[in-house]
Amino acid sequence: QVSDEAVWAPGKRCVFAPRKTSETCAAWRLWSVNCMAAAFASPGHMGAGGLARTAAPLVAPHPASAPIVRSTAAGAFRSEGLAPTTRVAPSALASVGVATLLGAAAGVAGRRWRGPRRRKGPARPRAAVGQSEGPLARRSDGSLEAPSPFALLADDEPGNAWSLATRMVSHEMGQLISWLRISAPALSRVADWLEANLSNTSALAARAPPAIVECLTLDLDRVIEREDERGTPEGPLVVKAVFFALSWTLDRLFEGRPIQKFWVLETVARLPYFSYITVLHLYESLGWWRTPQLRDIHNAEELNELHHLLIMESLGGNSSWFDRLLARTASVAYYWVVVGLFFSDPRLAYNFSLLVEEHAYVTYGQFIHENAEVLRRIPPPPVATRYYVDGDLYYFDKFQTSRKALDAPRRPPCDNMLDVFRNIRDDEFEHVITMKACQEWWGGDGPSPIPGAEQRAFGNREEWLKWSAEVNAIASVARD
């Protein structure tokens, strides 16, 4: 039995929503099977037989709630001269030493904190056929007990900072150990040492992306041509230099892997909104400045980027441990850079986000142009339909500040993955408009990015003056 509140989303992340978990799990199962069917139906680019013969194993995006679906062509890799391993950028080897040292330190510290590794007890007996346990769990002696409220959260069980960090490091080190044994056999002894000396760590194979992802392409030269045609937004030379360095690095590291690049890009693109909200909260706490409407817009923008991230996770964008390490490290650094920029000059912070969002808009446009036929065959993941169609659209409308109050709300279709990527592309364009408006407003060169109705949410100056006059009149009458 699964709680009515716990809804499993991609990448083993638990999202709470007032929707039946059984319905959501069924939707994810159906989507994963349809993705496999689309992969088998696509001719692909790896041979005349298509992905039906050369596809990597497809694993459902969330192992806790959906079954595993695998390709039946087990020997196709060897017949085509391919190796069934996850492609990793050559620069990944450079980070193995750093990751090993960090994991070893956390693992040894964790062992000293928790004591020696606990041995697994006997397997819990299953319920008899036809016997329904309902919401209860069965003890080893056969009696029933109420389950822990966190029993169904698996790796998403809440805890303090230490437990959360050590659990994440243990999971990542498990995948690093597996990667060392498969992709770097010369370092297998290092993998054996790590598994033997780190507490609660064992080899864990990475989740393979859906096979259809191998059909997707992205021409970087055409992306650059599109950017030249549109023109790069104006900005300080220092900000542009950092942005171009970041863009060039991502293009080289993720060449031939567009979904993985999009996942890293969306992970990084969320961080500026966290930075804006952090500084605005601090300003309010110190009594310097208060604009909750602006914070609410940035919160809606971050939520939009989060759903882009979840969509990329459903396609396996976060399946590689190196990609996750790179994205998280860059995100932490980027967060503090934007905080510093916002403290010194908010226009610089907004200009950096403007460059990132403009690049994302152009890149998604080229990606859609190249892969329209393949994307049209792929059904939309449940997280996309929940956000664009079925769910609460309040925050979806909130971040689109360019739309007037009298305009019809934007309600895009979401019938297939082509619609999903078109929606993401259009979302990025809305971010471009909002970032540009924020930059101009802080510089005194344009109107407020906050819609007129939101600006009057707490009443305007005239309304407050009228109210204060009425209150003073009542006080005068009371004194008389």
Give the DSSP per-residue string, 248-314.
HHHHHHTTT-HHHHHHHHHHHHHHHHHHHHHHHHHHHHTTS---HHHHHHHHHHHHHHHHHHHHHHH
pLDDT, one tens digit per residue, over 94-116 is: 454 555 555 555 454 444 444 44
Query: Which of 261, 249, 181 has its CA nearest to residue 218?
Result: 261
Does the pLDDT at position 247 exceed 70? yes
**Arithmetic mean of pLDDT, 375-392:** 92
Instruction: State the Cα–Cα distance between residues 15 and 116, nearest whole angstrom.
Output: 33
Cβ neighbours of 456 (radius 10 Å): 12
* Mean pLDDT (whole number) for 7-27: 46
Find the mean pLDDT for residues 67-75.
33
pLDDT: is 323 or 81 the higher one? 323
Strand (E) or helix (H) holding 95: helix 92-114
Q: Which two tokens stand for residue 16?
A: 């709470």
Return d(Cα 344, Cα 288) in angstroms, integer: 15
Question: pLDDT class for 132, splitting at 50, 70, 90?
Answer: very low
The 3-state DSSP composition of the chain as helix, strand, coil percent (nearest 5) reads 60, 0, 35
Residue 34: what pLDDT?
A: 65
Q: What element of type H or E holds 330?
A: helix 321-344
Q: What is the band of 136 on the pLDDT scale with cuts at 50, 70, 90?
A: low
Q: Is the pLDDT of residue 162 over 80?
A: yes
Which residue type is seen at 144?
L
Q: Which two tokens stand for residue 52?
A: 């039906």
Reduced to 3 states, what is the DSSP secondary structure of residue 140? Answer: coil
Mean pLDDT value across residues 320-328? 90
| Angle 75-80-86 from CA coordinates, rounded to 5° | 75
Q: Is 316's pLDDT higher than 60?
A: yes
Question: How does the average pLDDT of the chain come out, rounded?
Answer: 75
Q: Could you give the angle at which helices 92-114 and 188-197 cross, rounded to 10 degrees?
A: 20
Distance CA 339, CA 287 (A): 18
For the entire predicted model, the pTM comes to 0.70
Out of 237-241, 345-349, 383-387, pick the least confident.
237-241
Residue from 471, 23, 31, 439 nearest 236 by CA: 439
| Distance (Å, whole) CA 18 – CA 32 | 23
Q: Name the burial class of residue 401, with classes exposed (0-12), middle (13-18) and buried (19+) by CB atoms within 10 angstroms of its CB.
A: buried
Digit-coded pLDDT (tens) for 356-365:
999 999 999 9
Element (H, E) at 144: strand 144-145
Residue 138 dihedral angles phi and psi, to the nearest 5°: -105, 125
Rounded to the nearest 5°, which phi and psi values hold at 205? -70, 145
pLDDT in tens, 225-246: 999 999 888 888 888 998 888 8
Query: If pLDDT is split at 50, 70 and 90, which confidence band does 260 have?
Result: very high
Angle between helix 258-285 and 321-344 (nearest 10): 30
Of the candidates 178, 210, 208, 29, the residue with the CA atom closest to the CA atom of residue 99? 178
Between 371 and 49, the more confident residue is: 371
Which of 313, 275, 116 has its CA nearest to residue 199? 116
Answer yes or no: is pLDDT of 308 > 50: yes
